[in-house]
Amino acid sequence: MSAVASAWFSQRLDGVRVGYLGAVAFGHCSIDILNAAVAIFLTALVARFDLSNADLAWGITFYFVMASLPMPLFGILADRWNGRWLAQLGVLWTAVAFLFVPFIPTYPLLLVVLAVGALGSAAFHATGTRTASLSGGVHHGSFSTSIFFFLGQIGLSTGPIIAGVLIREFGLMGIAYMALAVLPMVAIMQYLLHRPMPPVRPVAVPNSKTTRNRAARVARSALVIAPTIFILYVVARSATLQNFMSLLPKYFADQGLDSAGYGARAGALVLGGSLGTLVGGLLDGRLRRKHLMMWSLWLSIPFLYLTLNQDGIYYYLSAALAGFISNTSHSVIVVQAQAMLPKREGLASGLALGVMFASGAVMTGVAGFFADIFTLRAVMYTLAFLPILAGALLLIPTRAPAPTPALAPSPGPAN
């Protein structure tokens, strides 16, 4: 069995530039450990700074918006510089900013420091996603991208757990210890990424009249309809998933759990998501992307609901399944965006992740506002059913219909 698995994995890695992929994948794990700690340590600061649900939610929103909006710009720079420096510089930048977190005396100043640190996350994600996709070569871009996001999701799932335990043991100094632990990864990335990646050979496309006509129809559709539906889908999807990741700590803190307890519960959701990201990359090419993106959200709804009202082992099973199913579309979304902007992988990655994280962050702020009016519990239950709308968006036709072939005139009667 192990020999079969080894042969299968070796086949998947055939043609993959493992050094480049490993550098950005483990860098992704490192920086997302820090990103995942934001909701945990802000929740731990609720009493010190007398924060309402809205204050907490908008603080999380502010960080992730600042980590999202610059992504397209960094994506353009990554395309221009071949992603040579930005990934490792981004990890270093964010880690250094987090070293100052325990010493900030006021909430507004803390948000300023977090905003500065968020720029490093933006630089890394745009560049790292581009590098991961290109490291897969012509045939394994989806697989290598799923590995990249799998390691990122591992960081997002372990980050809340690590942060919760360290805050319980050392107070906010635990965040500085997390940042220090990330710094060796910067040196490893620099060693593996110091040379530009060799270019990927393009796949030859037949230049027939039928191919050109089909490409023209797809191009007309791609100008407006398909990108609009795609963006709306990403926004609706992020509204649920990012709110669950950001607000579950507060949801369970309100029920009396300490930082380690609500950190572990938030981590279970994202840990399941990490496995879903990997499986989604493997399913890409076997299933239509549209169906994978749609059903991954619809099938997650019962488990998102159960996550909010289960306890003990049943909670962890529900949360892991909710994360697993919903996140099978994560890497597929980025690969689809790159397909819409060929030869602009950095820009496409920055736009896709920027829209994903920025919209989710803004919706976190909106959810916090309504939580102060209708209770956080009511808002979370509403968000659990929002994937119905997100999946339904993909039922809207996006391709221009093929032209009806003209009928040849029938021959007249023979004279």
Comparison of pLDDT for 1 and 252, the residue scoring more = 252
The DSSP element (H or E) to which 294 belongs, if any, is helix 289-298
Minimal CA–CA distance to 244: which of 58, 356, 383, 52? Answer: 383
Minimal CA–CA distance to 270: which of 151, 360, 158, 157? Answer: 157
Q: How far apart are CA 198 and CA 142, in angstroms?
A: 18
* Cα angle for residues 194, 197, 198 (degrees, 5° grid): 140
DSSP letter (8 states) at residue 311: -
Say what the pLDDT of residue 287 is: 82
Minimal CA–CA distance to 146: which of 356, 340, 336? Answer: 336
pLDDT greater than 80 at residue 342 = no
The percent of residues above 70 in pLDDT, for the chain, comes to 83
Burial readout 306-321 (b: 16 or more C-beta within 10 A, e: otherwise): bbbeeeeeebbbbbbb
Say what the pLDDT of residue 400 is: 52
Q: How far apart are CA 396 and CA 279, in angstroms?
A: 26
Comparison of pLDDT for 400 and 375, the residue scoring more = 375
Q: Give the mean pLDDT of 347-374.
A: 88
Please report whether residue 412 resides in a domain: no
- Total of domains in the chain: 1
- 238 near 357, Cβ under 8 Å? yes
Which tokens is 161 given? 């757990």
Say what the pLDDT of residue 415 is: 39
Supply the range of the domain harboring residue 245.
15-196+222-393
| 223-259 confidence digits (pLDDT tens) | 677 788 888 999 999 999 988 988 898 999 999 988 8
Please report whether residue 405 resides in a domain: no
Say what the pLDDT of residue 222 is: 53
pLDDT greater than 80 at residue 89 = yes
Minimal CA–CA distance to 143: which of 133, 128, 154? Answer: 133
Please report whether residue 110 resides in a domain: yes
Please report whether residue 304 resides in a domain: yes
Residue 381: C-alpha distances to residues 63, 126, 183, 244, 309 (Å): 24, 32, 39, 10, 10
Say what the pLDDT of residue 406 is: 46
- 116 near 101, Cβ under 8 Å? no
Q: Tokens 């289960």 — which residue?
A: 310
pLDDT greater than 90 at residue 384 = yes
Please report whether residue 210 resides in a domain: no
Please report whether residue 111 resides in a domain: yes
Say what the pLDDT of residue 204 is: 47
pLDDT greater than 90 at residue 303 = yes
Beta partners for 284? 287
Q: How far apart are CA 8 and CA 13, in angstroms?
A: 9
Residues whose CB is less than 8 angstroms from the CB of residue 250 and which lie 6 or more positions away in sequence, other chains included: 39, 43, 46, 53, 56, 262, 376
- CATH for 153: 1.20.1250.20
Least confident window among 2-6, 15-19, 360-364: 2-6
The percent of residues above 90 in pLDDT, for the chain, comes to 43
Q: Give the mean pLDDT of 152-159.
A: 89
Minimal CA–CA distance to 278: which of 12, 72, 14? Answer: 12
Say what the pLDDT of residue 299 is: 96
Q: Give the mean pLDDT of 392-413.
A: 60
Say what the pLDDT of residue 129 is: 87
| 29-83 confidence digits (pLDDT tens) | 999 999 999 989 998 888 889 988 889 988 988 999 899 889 989 988 888 877 6
Give me the helices (H) in 171-224, please. Answer: 173-193, 209-223
Please report whether residue 346 resides in a domain: yes
| This prediction's pTM | 0.76
Please report whether residue 211 resides in a domain: no
